[in-house]
Structure 1
Amino acid sequence: MGSRLFLKIYLTVLGSLALVVIALSTLAFLGRLDTRSPFEDRVDRFASVMLSSDLSFDQRQAMLEKLSNAFDADIAIYAADGKILQGAGDPRFNTQNADAMPKRRHFRVFSAILPDGSRFVASVRRPFVPPRGNLIISFLVIAALIGVAAYPVVRHLTRRLDQMRTSMENWGSGTLAERVPVSGKDEIATVARTFNLAADRIETLVNSQRNLLANASHELRSPLARLRMAIEMFEVSQSQPTKNEIIRNLAELDELVEEILLKSRLDGDRPPPLDQPIDLLALAAEEAAFADADVEGDEIRLTGNERMIRRLIRNLLQNAIRHGKPPVGIAVRNKGDVAEIRVQDHGSGLKSEDAERVFEPFYRPPGRSETDGGWGLGLALVAEIARFHGGRAYAAQPAETGAVFVVELPLGASHL
């Protein structure tokens, strides 16, 4: 593709030069490139003034001699019947009859009628005008030079396109880390930068989906294994504790699947709408009642997705209950241009290195076994939902014991 494009562009340049050469050569052949001098445009008036009828024969002859020497021309004056009256310059030009005047190459002939009816004729050598054949050769040489100079320019342009094509093919074959080299500030560089930005975004999404799938499949094994064991035990002894264990594992599976679907939807190209009015304090109070947590704060109304904000608050409370110790409290505060949701527990708290990574999907701190559990997708969804509403989530340093998670959401219209 690159070589064919190079040939197309280069042949287009050469074809354009060929058309220009043909057009100029045609004009030169027809004599349309000859420029007319001011003397030629005003030859009648010039001849009438310089060769006035008031001059005597000798004075007119002297004027003819001066004009012949000044213009390096052969000059003659003919009577109305074509007989020569007087002349200057080459005697061969000054024939006895104007009709018998020879034609001469590389000379321009000027003719004018004088006031007394006689005819003035001057044959002047054309200065600085090469023969038409030489002119056509000059055109061909200029076109050849332009063609040679255009070759590296066109080749450089198409080489960059060929590099872009190669990089795109490698990227399309699965090498997602492949990027197009960017050089210059022209349209090709702009296309390369745009492709690289899109490739970065797609690589991030693909890697995110791969990690999500790998971690989700791993996390699903534990509740599935417990569920299988509980079902086998229930077949032997249909006790209430075994039944409760089955229900708890099913609920855990359902919650995990729902979180996976929600995260995939947030990463997809059709995100949920953010056009619902939300009473933040009322929403926090409802979820706090289910989690047996304390709630306080200001009445705040914002626009967003109510289901997602509810999930955000629920995940914060469930995380505090699962990994911390009671009492658990949630506070909703108006901080001017943002609404702050703060959830605090009284557990052992977070290590500084864990506070940076707890929002990663399925993050499990070092030294914690699978039976102790990790943070799964709960806090990762909190961060995603906050970002989706134009806010942020982070782990704060508590004044006392325990862990504190804070979410800040912009007031007014939410946005990505």
Structure 2
Amino acid sequence: MLKHSIFLRIYAGLVILVVLVALFGYLLVQIINYQRAQEYRESLTDGMAYIISEGIARQPNEQQRMDWISDASNLLELPIYYVKADKVDLTRAEAKRLEERKAAVRWDAQTLVAYIIIGLKDDPDHLLYIKAENITERQMKALPVFVLDYLVYYPGQEREYLQRIQHYFSYPMQIVNVQSLPLDSEQIGRLRLDHSIILYRDSASVRGTTISIVSPIPSSTSDVLVMGPVPLFNWMPFQLAAGITLLSLFVLSLGVYGLLVPMQRKLRAVNYALNKMKTGDLSVRLPVDSTDEVGSLASSYNSMSDHIQRLIEAQRELMRAVSHELRTPVARIRFGMEMLADEEDYECRLQQVDMIDKDIEALNTLIDEIMTYAKLEQGAPSLDFERIILFEVLDQVLIETEALKTGKTLELQAPPLAVVVDAERRYLHRVVQNLVGNAVRYCDSRVLISGGLSEDGMAYVCVEDDGPGIPEEERSRVFEAFARLDDSRTRASGGYGLGLSIVSRIAYWFGGTVSIDESPELGGARFIMAWPAQQRFKSQKRKNAEPQKDAGSEA
């Protein structure tokens, strides 16, 4: 079933992609959070590493240093080892952190124990090695003691020196008045008893839960040291969640693109074949390499192309047959005309010869119309556009029509000689000739010919007459081959129903339109053919092989 439907394959591929992207996102979150947790641990210990290093450096001799370390170990309730530096194998990153007077933290995920390594300020040969298994409130309340022990050497300048060491701490530290803190009476009482307190704050913001440590300053009754707020580690902060989501969607979109590329490639091949078909080239065939919807589309296109080719060949055969069938009676009529030489009545013989000769000429004209129409109908003709003075074409048709002595009045509203347009002279002459001939055939007495350039850069020719006009609902039919609007328009009135079809075809290949409305001046029909006055190519072939079927631009 999957191989017969490209969409089911895409859906199945999407399910697999979603699972893979979810696994990728989970692993990525774990890796990023491991690194974030390590950076979080180091950021919490950097400040205290600096303070402890400063405290030890102030001790005048080694014994006092050992005593200070012992007191610190008892205060923190954590084992602190004074070890030689060459006994500890440091990585390059750890050594760099110690040089910057920061702490190096080693985390054992199995035992959940952190090992903190602290460098000493004036003793590069030794390191402090702290083993931290559980961090309780006791360790947290002991932290302000180390900070206050550092500040005791700077009486009256506590705030200034606190600001100096701030950059070693990842959380803020400040000395504030106890009255400015949102504390209850119990908490204030504990501060007066020289006890540190811990404040927990839950927030709906990105920071989440935070901890602040408030410790009294022995030398002041109103000021306290506030360390924090320190945000607790957030395993999925907004920035990380947004980043992982966007990255996952990007990976998913790449996967979807990979699923759609084969179908896109096949559809592009179908589009290419259709474009070639528009130009009249039906030789392109699509490979049918699957049984899904796209494969079915390719198979249908191939069948359609074969069918259209057969229709075109059948049409060509028909045109050749019609041409042959029409020329055969012409030959017979001419043969019969020669036979009339034996006719005894001279006047009758001449009259019959004249009638036969007219039929011959009419048949030849019909053949010429059919062949011209077929040439324009079957494909893109070769158009050799050139710069043409529009007046010359209109005036030539006027002179040729007047020479036929039709008895109708022809008027030319001549465009200026400066009006020059791009056109194929032979086909433009045919357009004007057919329109004028059609107007002469159905007018009462007057035909008006005009042409020029419109404001939108379109060239146009216009032929109007004072005849009965064409009903609006019938105007689209006059462009159909061999179409007649009523029985009165038979061969007796002249024409074969191909003249306007040829005009419509030429208008299409010129890239223009032909339209019909009522003449505002003469009251009859008005035909207007408009086309771009400047063509993109002097010699071109229109790319579309089949025009739109509408009243204004049917070809």
TM-score normalized by the length of structure 1: 0.58
Report Cα offsets for 1:267-299 as digits up to 9, x if no partner: x3x75243x121222212222333227352233
SS in structure 2 of the partner of residue 393 of structure 1: strand
Quote the offset at 1:413 in angstroms: 1.8
Would you say 1:253 and 2:367 are equivalent positions?
yes
Determine the C-alpha separation between the residues in 1 that align with 2:324 and 2:490. 14
Match of 1:316 in 2: 435
Would you say 1:332 and 2:443 are equivalent positions?
no
Match of 1:354 in 2: 474
Match of 2:113 in 1: 107
Determine the C-alpha separation between the residues in 1 that align with 2:70 and 2:528. 113
Match of 1:304 in 2: 423
Distance 1:350 1:335, change over 3 A: same
User: Which of 356, 375, 390 is residue 242 of structure 1 equivalent to?
Assistant: 356
Determine the C-alpha separation between the residues in 2 that align with 1:79 and 1:395. 106
Determine the C-alpha separation between the residues in 1 that align with 2:365 and 2:128. 118
- Paired residues in the alignment total 339
Would you say 1:272 and 2:383 are equivalent positions?
yes
User: Which of 364, 388, 402 is residue 484 of structure 2 equivalent to?
Assistant: 364
SS in structure 2 of the partner of residue 37 of structure 1: helix
Distance 1:224 1:319, change over 3 A: farther
Quote the offset at 1:258 in angstroms: 1.8
Distance 1:118 1:174, change over 3 A: closer
Determine the C-alpha separation between the residues in 1 that align with 2:523 and 2:129. 118
Would you say 1:125 and 2:133 are equivalent positions?
yes
Quote the offset at 1:395 in angstroms: 2.4
Quote the offset at 1:65 in angstroms: 2.0
Distance 1:375 1:393, change over 3 A: farther
Quote the offset at 1:313 in angstroms: 0.9
Quote the offset at 1:166 in angstroms: 2.2
Quote the offset at 1:377 in angstroms: 3.5
Amino acid at match of 2:528: V
Cα root mean square deviation, aligned: 5.5
Unpaired segments of 5 or more residues in structure 2?
88-107, 136-231, 234-243, 268-291, 341-352, 537-541, 543-555
Would you say 1:169 and 2:288 are equivalent positions?
no
Report Cα offsets for 1:85-126 as digits up to 9, x if no partner: xxxxxxxxxxxxxxxxxx993222234465577763310138
Report Cα offsets for 1:124-145 as digits up to 9, x if no partner: 138899xxxxxxxxxxxx99xx
Determine the C-alpha separation between the residues in 2 that align with 1:211 and 1:78. 98
Determine the C-alpha separation between the residues in 1 that align with 2:465 and 2:312. 30
Determine the C-alpha separation between the residues in 1 that align with 2:303 and 2:71. 93
Distance 1:39 1:229, change over 3 A: closer
Match of 2:525 in 1: 403
Quote the offset at 1:44 in angstroms: 6.1
Match of 1:291 in 2: 401
Determine the C-alpha separation between the residues in 1 that align with 2:31 and 2:497. 82
Match of 1:64 in 2: 73
Distance 1:45 1:306, change over 3 A: same
SS in structure 1 of the partner of residue 59 of structure 2: coil
Determine the C-alpha separation between the residues in 2 that align with 1:369 and 1:213. 30
Unpaired segments of 5 or more residues in structure 1?
83-102, 130-141, 178-201
SS in structure 2 of the partner of residue 349 of structure 1: coil
SS in structure 2 of the partner of residue 358 of structure 1: helix
Quote the offset at 1:249 in angstroms: 0.9
Match of 2:392 in 1: 282
Amino acid at match of 2:356: T
TM-score normalized by the length of structure 2: 0.46
Quote the offset at 1:356 in angstroms: 3.8
Give matches, 1:2-21, under 5 Å.
2=6
Q: Is the 8 A contact 1:324 1:402 kept in 2?
A: no
SS in structure 1 of the partner of residue 79 of structure 2: strand
Q: Is the 8 A contact 1:389 1:409 kept in 2?
A: yes
Would you say 1:49 and 2:54 are equivalent positions?
yes
Report Cα offsets for 1:291-319 as digits up to 9, x if no partner: 22735223332222212211111211232
Determine the C-alpha separation between the residues in 1 that align with 2:459 and 2:252. 62
Determine the C-alpha separation between the residues in 1 that align with 2:68 and 2:487. 125
Determine the C-alpha separation between the residues in 2 that align with 1:37 and 1:112. 11
Q: Percent identity?
A: 16
